[in-house]
Amino acid sequence: MDMTQTIKNRPGQNVTQHHIKALEVLNIEIEALQHLSHIINGEFNRIVELILATLKHHGKIIITGVGKNKFIGEKICATLNSTGCPAVFLHPTEALHGDIGIVKQNDIALVLSYSGTSEEVLMLLPILKRIGVPMIALTGNPESPLAQASDGVLCCTVLREACPFNMAPTASTTAALALGDALAMALVEARHFTIEDYARIHPAGAIGRSLILKVSDIMRTGARLTTVLEHTHLHEAILSMTTAKSGAVVIVDESSHLLGIFTDGDLRRCLTKGLDCMTAEIHSVMTRTPKFVRANQMAVELVPIFKNYQIDDLVVVDEDMHVVGLVDIQDLPRLKVL
C-alpha cells in the first residue's frame, strides 16, 4: 500500500500537501536503497578484498569527489577512520595543486561521481594511474569513463531522484552514502574489528570510557580516602570525613585490612537514636562486611552494584583485602561513567 494513502486513512490525521510530498521523497529514497541490493555481489566482495590487501600492506584509502559527492565522501572517510580503516579525503582540484603528495603507491582510491564524467575527477585519474594506485569507482554509470578506468566498480544507479526535476542529487547521494556504510561495515567484519578496538579510538565517547576506565582510574586515594582504626571515637571519624570531603570513612585494622565502613547515612541514623558521638567508638556503629571491588575491575561494572544494593560508596581492596581506595557514586557523573 502506498504510504500517502496509508496516512490519509488514519482517523483525525490532518494530511497536507507537504506531508504527501515528504512521503513521496521518502518512498523514492527507500526505492533507491532497495535497488542497491542487486549490486551486492561478487564484485563487491572483490573490492572488499582489494581494500583488505591495501590495509595489510599499511596503505590507506584515498576518497575523492566533487559537488555533493564531496560531502558524501567526507562522511564515508570519517566512518572508515572511526572503525579503524585509515582514510583521507582528497579534493580533486586541490590534488592538482599539490595535495596529490598525500597519495602513496600502496594506497587505494575510492572515486565518487554519479555520472562518472565529472571533469575534475577525470583529470585526477591519470595521475592516480601513474602513481600505481588501484581505483574503485562509486558511480551510477557503469559505462562511464570513470568506471572504464577503474579496477572495480560499485554501481549505485537509482531509478530517479527525489527532486521534481530529476536533477538535484537526493536519492543518488542517499544510495552512495548507504553503499559507503555497507563497505565500511563489511570491512569491520572482515578485519575482526572488536568493540574494544572501537573503544581505543573513541576514548572520549561513552563506549570508550566504559571499556577503558578502570576502578583504579576513578577511585579516591591519598587525602581523599579516609581510613580509621576500629577503636577510633566516632567524633574523630566524622572530623576525618569532613576533612577529606568524603561521605564515608573506611574502618581498617593495623595492617589496613578492611573491617567495615561508616557513611553519612549511618551518621544521620546515629543522631536520630541519640548516640553520644564523643564517647562511642566507630566499631559499634560501622557496617561490617561492606561491599567491595577490586582496583583492576572496569569502572562501568560499578554502576549495577550501586543500583542493586542502593549504596553510595564502594571500598576498593587489593587481593589481600588491604584497602586501597574508595569510589563515591557522586564521582561517576563527573567522570561520565554514569
Domain-located, residue 105: yes
Domain-located, residue 208: no
The alpha carbons of the chain give a radius of gyration, in whole angstroms, of 31
**Rounded-to-5 percentages of helix, strand, coil across the chain:** 50, 15, 35
Reported as a single tens digit per residue, the pLDDT across 79-128 is 999 999 999 999 999 999 999 999 999 999 999 999 999 999 999 999 99
Question: What does the pLDDT read at residue 277?
Answer: 80
Alpha carbons 187 and 206: distance in angstroms, whole number:
23
C-alpha to C-alpha distances, 231 to 185, 257, 291, nearest whole angstrom: 61, 15, 21
Question: What does the pLDDT read at residue 222?
Answer: 94
The enclosing domain of 289 has a CATH number of 3.10.580.10
**99 is in which domain, residue-wise?**
3-193
Report the DSSP pairing between strands 313-317 and 323-328. Answer: antiparallel
- Residues 17 and 154 placed together within one structural domain of the fold: yes
Alpha carbons 206 and 214: distance in angstroms, whole number:
14
Domain-located, residue 203: no
Alpha carbons 140 and 152: distance in angstroms, whole number:
13
**Cell of residue 72, nine digits:** 558524501
Alpha carbons 3 and 21: distance in angstroms, whole number:
11
**Cell of residue 108, nine digits:** 587505494
- Residues 92 and 239 placed together within one structural domain of the fold: no
Burial zone of 88 (CB within 10 Å; 0-12 exposed, 13-18 middle, 19+ buried): middle
Domain-located, residue 207: no
Domain-located, residue 313: yes
Contact 112, 63 (CB under 8 A): yes
Domain-located, residue 185: yes
- Residues 164 and 221 placed together within one structural domain of the fold: no
- Residues 134 and 173 placed together within one structural domain of the fold: yes
C-alpha to C-alpha distances, 75 to 39, 157, 177, nearest whole angstrom: 21, 20, 8
Domain-located, residue 199: no
Count: domains in the chain? 2
The enclosing domain of 111 has a CATH number of 3.40.50.10490
Q: CA dihedral in degrees (99, 100, 105, 109; nearest 10)?
A: 100
- Residues 158 and 278 placed together within one structural domain of the fold: no
- For residue 211, the tally of other CB atoms under 10 A from its CB is 20
- Would you give per-residue pLDDT tens digits along the chain (338 residues)? 444 444 444 555 566 788 889 999 999 999 999 988 877 888 999 999 999 999 999 999 999 999 999 999 999 999 999 999 999 999 999 999 999 999 999 999 999 999 999 999 999 999 999 999 999 999 999 999 999 999 999 999 999 999 999 999 999 999 999 999 999 999 999 999 988 788 788 777 667 776 778 899 999 999 999 999 999 999 999 999 999 999 999 999 999 999 999 999 999 998 888 888 888 999 999 999 999 999 999 888 898 999 999 999 999 999 999 999 999 998 887 766 65
Alpha carbons 174 and 36: distance in angstroms, whole number:
11
- Please name which of 193, 208, 203 lies closest in space to residue 80, comparing C-alpha atoms: 193
Q: Position 319: which residue type?
A: E
Task: Tell me the CA end-to-end span of the chain in Å, nearest whole number.
Answer: 45
Q: Whose grid coordinates read 567524633? A: 235
Question: What does the pLDDT read at residue 34?
Answer: 92
- Residues 162 and 231 placed together within one structural domain of the fold: no
Contact 312, 265 (CB under 8 A): yes
- Residues 173 and 245 placed together within one structural domain of the fold: no
- Residues 39 and 178 placed together within one structural domain of the fold: yes
Question: What does the pLDDT read at residue 7?
Answer: 43
**Cell of residue 78, nine digits:** 570519517
Alpha carbons 151 and 135: distance in angstroms, whole number:
5
